[in-house]
Amino acid sequence: MTVLYQIVFRAVLRRVDAEKVHRLSFAALRGVTALPGVAAAMGRVLGPREPELTVHALGREFPGPLGLAAGFDKNAESPAGLAALGFGFVEIGTVTAQPQPGNPKPRLLRLVGDRAIVNRMGFNNEGSALVAERLHHRRGGRRPVLGVNIGKTKVTPEAEAPADYAVSALRLARYADYLVVNVSSPNTPGLRNLQGVEQLRPLLAAVREAMAEAGHPDLPLLVKIAPDLADEDVDAVADLALAEGLDGIIATNTTISREGLTTSADQVEAAGAGGLSGAPLKQRSLEVLRRLRARVGDRVTLVAVGGIETPQDAWARIRAGATLVQGYTGLIYGGPLWPRRIHRGLARLVRSAGYRSIGEAVGADVPAPADTGQRPDSAAATGG
């Protein structure tokens, strides 16, 4: 199946507009998994079922540590269908307070030689009111652990961003297992300015007030940051997370950097502006993760995303301090069985390292922060 997908990808899919392929393939998945019993059957076959992969984090139980990152299902059209591919959790969005069409097309392009994607989608989505209505009608029954990622409406001035985020939080909090404040996409003008501590603190306060008003004051709240932050800014976000009692940090979003690409300069220039995801992001995302772990220890849940392609990539993030990992571009290049391959590979790595559960490996390669005077129990263990 994997070989067949690679043949189809190279012969057909890579020659078709990336956004069109996404739209058609997602429609096909929704159609198949909407049939009675199909999603449940797929989940039993493809889902993580090794007991050592179960993760307890953010007050929830995740059947496996690999989730689907935000961006694939912006409007909560089929989180259960995506979970049936084998993901341990699904994050929808980014959702904004008001519906918006996003940036002009083409806005999703592949750099196949680098196993990367350039996107400048611009938070195209149907708005938090409609997404909330869709989630309301799908309540009940089995559903995956669901993250909801919210962002700023493009036309909203920076000064009014806290109120804008609060609208979406009020509407969506009741349907989420965790909520993510996205201040790191490069495709909404001025959005990344909100990563500054002075801008981020009142924004988080507004979101928390909205969560309380929605009746979910204890809903886990996370922030998603960019790989392009300077190291001292990463430290500042980490310190803010501790000071404000944030539940987690997602590291990292896409990058505006084009360094180290093997794709020709002409092709890169033709792809244009936007956030770069995939393999080229691997090293910087890992560096940011390690820096965060060294700063916050196990007091904040870290979610790693960016350049994860193989079980070894995911394992390295976990040993560097990530409790959970996410992928998106890996699915595009790896095909529909990619989540199952990652989870099976992780299970083998857990067993070969002598751990009883994957949670024991979290942070094994990173010393504890100096102020705790503690080391992870598994710091001296060996692993893949």
Report how many domains make up the chain.
1
Residue from 128, 185, 285, 378 carrying the catalytic annotation: 185
Rounded to the nearest 5°, which phi and psi values hold at 44?
-65, -35
pLDDT digits (tens, 9 = 90+) for 1-25: 577 777 787 778 888 999 999 999 9
pTM of the predicted model over 0.85:
yes
Cβ-count burial of 321 within 10 angstroms (0-12 exposed, 13-18 middle, 19+ buried)? Answer: buried
Which regions of the chain are under pLDDT 70? 1, 140-141, 368-384
DSSP class per residue in 19-64 = HHHHHHHHHHHHHHHTSTTHHHHHHHHHS---GGG-EEETTEEESS
What are the tens digits of pLDDT across the range 235-277?
A: 999 999 999 999 999 999 999 999 999 999 999 999 999 999 9
> Tokens for 384?
């893949």
Pair of tokens at residue 174: 């009741």
225 part of a folded domain: yes
Both tokens of 38, joined, read 């199909």
pLDDT at 3: 74
| 249 touches 292 (CB < 8 A) | yes
Least Cα distance to 67 among 241, 223, 225, 250 occurs for 250
User: Annotated binding residues for FMN, as ranges?
Assistant: 70-74, 94, 149, 182, 224, 252, 278, 307, 328-329
Q: Binding site residues for substrate, as ranges? A: 74, 119-123, 182, 187, 253-254
For position 231, which CATH number holds? 3.20.20.70
Residue 264 designated active-site: no
Task: Name the binding residues.
Answer: 70-74, 94, 119-123, 149, 182, 187, 224, 252-254, 278, 307, 328-329
Residue 110 forms part of a structural domain = yes
- Please report whether residue 43 resides in a domain: yes
Check residue 6 and give its pLDDT. 79
Range of the domain at 295: 2-361
Amino acid, single-letter form, for residue 170:
L
State the pLDDT at residue 1: 59
Decide if 350 is inside a domain. yes
How many alpha carbons fall within 13 Å on the CB side of residue 39? Answer: 20
Q: Which of 95, 88, 47 is nearest to 70 (CA)?
A: 95
Name the token pair of 297.
């220890």
Flag whether 97 is in a domain.
Answer: yes
80 contacts: CB under 8 Å, gap ≥ 6? 33, 39, 138, 142, 143, 144
Note the pLDDT tens digit of each residue in 191-219: 999 999 999 999 999 999 999 999 999 99
